[in-house]
Structure 1
């Protein structure tokens, strides 16, 4: 009887072995090696040629169908299970930033490049090196588990998430235009972003708007020039601009229901005039709008020109509003049904205590262009060492930015498990 009990206790232990966890452990050192290489040799948006070649070499070694040059430097690979089923896309962004690295690492970046006509230092100051390494790892695991797949997996390595250089286009929007979600048609897409402020081993999620739409705008106020000593002879665009700046803030504070979702209107630039005693002909204002639901976004699109025109008319000035200015991103929106279906996967992969419901953020992500076309889920995973106080965690896009290699373990497992569970459940 005692022997039988021992056997019965042993059987569940064997059954609980997780092939994804085992595979992730086996390639962990390779994922770290890839990340260190990518971190040491970052490239700017639309210039990720060596990065793309590095990724392509790995994908071809796995026997995948590989397409290069998508949206200039993007790399796309397809894993065909040979069985009918859905098409799941997994996305990682590849580009670095014009930021000088100040973290003393053996694999610190000392790279320099050209950005908008100037020589600049280059650093992976937002963790895209980890994103690429994690997706390379997930691709290797999924190829090794091909017999458990149903349908196809499309691996998307995207350039220029941080924005194309002046005068160029790039990123997810261009990839969509070039058909990255077609042939075969994608049914669902998953992406994740490492977070320097979230503990290693944790994953943050929410349904609906997770990151804001971004809509830059420009306002040109035209008046009548006059001597500063005789303002009654002018139509003053500066005082008009001052009233516009203050009044536009009431769109958010008095016209939107902020108990639903936050919205932000920020003026980042104001130019007008050349000296203290001359009232100029015109003033230019440039700013950005951030919204987390389409109702708020549509309302601001209507309200901003209305406010500006009304104030300009009251001051006898003229105003021109350009909205959006030169680019805009949709809301990064997690499909409610897909998020609900994937939540058990998050819990099973990370553990209930490590799955955190997250507040939205007013930063933007061009993963939203994929989600505009197909249902998608975008997650945040922890990269902060456990011994670092959250208040001391370095911010993204700064020279001090740092995330721990340990954070990638969970990312590799999540990308793999979400693919397997979506296909099989």
Structure 2
């Protein structure tokens, strides 16, 4: 009856938009639990591919919730669960990432992380500086809401708790790519997938999304420039890889400004490290620089790979040096591209959850997400949840990955409602 009333209110114009009183009521009833789960996870972060205790915590909660199927140890420490509706139908997946970052927390929160771990051969602080603790708590909340609604579900909901979203180089595969390889989108076959990311630059409780390209691809770049060592007082006696490297850094910027079609979307290449030489008066043999490539279009991404190689090698050759270019496409992330048809079909759900005044069109952003690999296999929609506390200006809020990154706990219940409602609505709208 509720669905019929909403349909009639819209003029009976085709798409049935359901109210979500059951989801809202159940989400609000567990809000305190969701906050407590997040605080526990925040105080006990684990780095990529080291999420053993996090996975155990998730599995324990899912067992208490009462899911129909539960698998652990997927792609390392991944956890996958299934909630089956009482009637057969499609399968929708909801995904949360669970790893933390090598960041020493500076928030001063009572549940702030004091965890230390080894990363890259150094002891570092560990922090949920990107909000993955919130993602896990939200998905656990959605799981509890949906498990209590089996009688209303036509189809099944697959819950994907994914390790290593932040990367695990030099491992050959990790995170979403490895989960897919190990069959996370099969048995049963997933028809569509949804995910969210908390965002400190948006007001708490707002939802943002866009159709098509949303987040950039990410490729690791390393350029090794080889010259010939000589005394710095006699630079003509050798080949200076430092000046060649400087020319290459500047030359790379012409790829975005002069060599690719800017109408296909934003793109950039940034050099983050340069290393070469041991002494002020010795020109070294070699300089190594590393950086990142960000694009939104697959063709532009391929063009960057080709033109970076040509630019670096040609500039080096002009000075008698050589440049070896390595682009880690196998370790990079594809652009996060929201399926246009799925996005259009589910766009009204955002308004249903938070009201039109709290729904925003997300800009294209240059951070990357391995949710993109799921979207290459099945239709997917990835969106943002604003978590900036009301006493902080979103324009000046500490960004994701900052040691001062904070999440407004009041936004978590909105995330639960959004994820659960997406699942309920997708199954209802695709019932046979």
Deviations 1:363-391 (A, max 9, x none): 11111121121111111101112232223
Contact kept? 1:87, 1:151, Cα under 8 Å: yes
Contact kept? 2:242, 2:287, Cα under 8 Å: yes
Are 1:109 and 2:113 matched, yes or no?
A: yes
Contact kept? 1:215, 1:323, Cα under 8 Å: yes
- Provide TM-score, normalisation by structure 1: 0.92
Are 1:60 and 2:63 matched, yes or no?
A: yes
- The count of residues paired between Structure 1 and Structure 2 equals 412
Q: Distance in 2 between matches of 1:132 and 1:197?
A: 20
Q: Distance in 2 between matches of 1:16 and 1:142?
A: 15
Q: Aligned to 2:333, what secondary structure does the other structure show?
A: coil
The aligned residue for residue 196 of structure 2 is 192
Are 1:282 and 2:286 matched, yes or no?
A: yes
1:392 to partner: Cα distance: 3.4
The aligned residue for residue 9 of structure 1 is none
Aligned positions of 1:301-380 closer than 5 A: 301-324=305-328, 327-380=331-384
Contact kept? 1:101, 1:399, Cα under 8 Å: yes
Deviations 1:116-137 (A, max 9, x none): 3333222211111111111011
Aligned positions of 1:1-80 closer than 5 A: 18-64=21-67, 65-80=69-84
The aligned residue for residue 83 of structure 1 is 87
Are 1:400 and 2:417 matched, yes or no?
A: no
1:225 to partner: Cα distance: 2.6
1:95 to partner: Cα distance: 1.3
Aligned positions of 1:87-102 closer than 5 A: 87-102=91-106
Q: Distance in 2 between matches of 1:278 and 1:99?
A: 36
Q: Distance in 2 between matches of 1:221 and 1:208?
A: 38
1:415 to partner: Cα distance: 0.5
Q: Aligned to 1:60, what secondary structure does the other structure show?
A: helix
Q: Distance in 1 between matches of 2:180 and 2:240?
A: 45
Deviations 1:11-46 (A, max 9, x none): x9xx97711111111111111111111112222221
Q: Distance in 2 between matches of 1:168 and 1:104?
A: 37
The aligned residue for residue 413 of structure 2 is 409
Deviations 1:52-98 (A, max 9, x none): 11111121123321000011111000112243321111001111222
Q: Distance in 2 between matches of 1:418 and 1:353?
A: 19
Deviations 1:333-361 (A, max 9, x none): 11111111110111111111111001111
Are 1:381 and 2:377 matched, yes or no?
A: no
**Which is further off, 115-124 or 29-38?**
115-124
- Provide TM-score, normalisation by structure 2: 0.91
Aligned positions of 1:103-182 closer than 5 A: 103-164=107-168, 169-182=173-186
Are 1:273 and 2:296 matched, yes or no?
A: no
Larger radius of gyration: 1
Counterparts in 2 of 1:272 and 1:104: CA distance versus 1, 3 Å: closer
Q: Aligned to 1:88, what secondary structure does the other structure show?
A: strand
Q: Distance in 2 between matches of 1:312 and 1:387?
A: 52
Runs (5+) with no aligned partner, structure 1: 1-11
Q: Distance in 1 between matches of 2:19 and 2:178?
A: 44
Deviations 1:235-256 (A, max 9, x none): 3322222221111110001122
Counterparts in 2 of 1:298 and 1:16: CA distance versus 1, 3 Å: closer
1:259 to partner: Cα distance: 4.1
1:326 to partner: Cα distance: 6.9
The aligned residue for residue 6 of structure 1 is none
Contact kept? 2:173, 2:331, Cα under 8 Å: no
The aligned residue for residue 210 of structure 1 is 214
Counterparts in 2 of 1:185 and 1:323: CA distance versus 1, 3 Å: same
The aligned residue for residue 4 of structure 1 is none
Contact kept? 1:223, 1:282, Cα under 8 Å: yes
Counterparts in 2 of 1:112 and 1:240: CA distance versus 1, 3 Å: closer
1:271 to partner: Cα distance: 1.8
Runs of 4+ that moved beyond 3 A: 165-169
Runs (5+) with no aligned partner, structure 2: 1-8, 10-17
**Which is further off, 120-129 or 158-167?**
158-167
1:325 to partner: Cα distance: 6.9
**Which is further off, 234-243 or 53-62?**
234-243
